[in-house]
Amino acid sequence: MKIEHVALWTRDLERMRAFYVQYFGAVASERYQSRTHTFASYFLTFPDGGARMELMEKPGLAESSGADVATGYAHLAISVGDEARVRELTERLRIAGVRVAGEPRRTGDGYFESVVLDPEGNRIEITV
């Protein structure tokens, strides 16, 4: 058994697609547009495989609570291979104006990671 994909609702499908393609090397599927509903999506495939990510958009989504801790989606962790790449990508994102919510560090449970926020404020752990 394996996780095939995770899905994330978004308010700006094209902006979110571009972010994950530009900074994480994702390859986007063709845009899916439902013929019967106001729904569109992309599937993103990441360079080293693993689960895909589906970005989904439809009008009328409720605002998230904005709380740092809430039930539901907590974060997406993307492995980049080594500590130097964690640092490099974090700095590249910072220079591009992306909010760094957690500097590169070794966590208490042994992970080396940083935390950045995507264009809609979703947490991404950049890990080894």
The whole-model pTM stands at: 0.84
Q: Which residues contact 104 (CB under 8 A, 6 or more apart)?
A: 83, 86, 87, 90, 112, 113, 114
Gap between the Cα atoms of 105 and 126, Å rounded: 11
Query: According to the model, what pLDDT value does residue 1 have?
Result: 64
Name the residue type at position 39. F
Using 70 as the pLDDT threshold, list the residues of the chain that sit under it. 1, 63-72
Domains in the chain and their CATH numbers? 1-59 (3.10.180.10), 74-128 (3.10.180.10)
User: Which among 45, 16, 27, 41 is positioned nearest to 118, based on CA atoms?
Assistant: 16
Gap between the Cα atoms of 35 and 40, Å rounded: 10
- Which tens digits make up the pLDDT trace of 4-35? 999 999 989 999 999 999 999 999 999 999 99
